[in-house]
Amino acid sequence: MVLIGDPAVDILIVAAALAMMSALVTKVTLGEKGRKSREKMKEMQKQLKAAQKSKNMKKMQKIQKEMMAAMMENLQHSFKPMLVTIIPFILIFGWLYSTYGVGETDYLFIHVVGKGGEHLFTWNDVPGDGSGQFEQFLAGELEINWLENAQINKSKDNRTITVTNGENSLTAELKKEKNRVAISPKDGKTREYVLMEEDGKMNVYVERSVIEILGVGLTWFWWYLICVFAISIPINKLLKNY
């Protein structure tokens, strides 16, 4: 099962907006000379492939020399759209970093969770037969050390579990519509875990099983880059920027 968190959707929307803005600015500012320069580059690339196929070294060298000059011209035409978009990109990228780029490395946005993931506890069984497993999770995962003789209660609507022991307390809140359970110690930060309905039971899983690409976890930055490239390529083709 693949779950996409709210931050991933937010970043997708931001990436789509930036890709659209960049494509429109390129369309408006590139001009006729810029488009002709890009078309010229495409034609030269075709000629170079043909020369490589026929193994015509002289023609290849000539085309490569012409391509270098065309690339410099192309770069000049691309500079204007870049100047227009650089400030919004820096501002939005700074906001993305300050919002999603700090904190634990486990704070990722696309999770692959299933029966092979680490099962923490079953919501339906707390309080009751599952209280022991719930307490083990709190002690091990959240390092709660005041659980001895603690009182565990659940609200009548089955949406909140409260654990209290004197001045110490924490709450576990069921966010069924988002497939999440939020655990909030009184003096600590809130952490969210994955909720899955299986065989009539609501099971809670750890969120550390994440999609990896070439061994790299899909953090906000890589998710942003994938979204930008996936969206900008078809938009630019549609607007005939390439």
Q: Are 220 and 102 in contact (CB under 8 A)?
A: no
Q: How confident is the model at residue 82 (pLDDT cuts 50, 70, 90)?
A: confident
Highest-confidence segment of 13-17, 22-26, 63-67, 178-182 = 13-17
For residues 26 and 76, give the distance between their C-alpha atoms in angstroms, rounded to a whole number. Answer: 13
Calculate what percentage of the chain has a pLDDT beyond 70: 77
Q: How confident is the model at residue 209 (pLDDT cuts 50, 70, 90)?
A: very low
Q: Is the pLDDT of residue 203 over 60?
A: yes
The alpha carbon of 65 is separated from its chain's Cα centroid by a whole number of angstroms, namely 41
Q: Is the pLDDT of residue 179 over 70?
A: yes
Question: Can you give the three-state secondary structure of 49-103, one letter per residue?
Answer: HHHHHHCCHHHHHHHHHHHHHHHHHHHHHHHHHHHHHHHHHHHHHHHHHHHHCCC
Whole-number pLDDT of residue 2: 44
Which pair of tokens denotes residue 70? 């065309």
* Residue listed under structure tokens 């931050």: 7
Whole-number pLDDT of residue 231: 92
Q: Are strands 110-112 and 119-122 parallel, antiparallel or unpaired?
A: unpaired
Domain map (residue ranges) of the chain? 2-103+218-238, 112-205
Please tell me the number of Cα atoms within 13 Å of 11 on its side-chain side.
28
Average pLDDT, the chain: 78
Whole-number pLDDT of residue 208: 52
Tens-place pLDDT, residues 136-174: 989 988 888 899 889 999 999 999 999 999 889 999 999
Q: Are 123 and 159 in contact (CB under 8 A)?
A: no
Q: Are strands 191-198 and 201-205 parallel, antiparallel or unpaired?
A: antiparallel
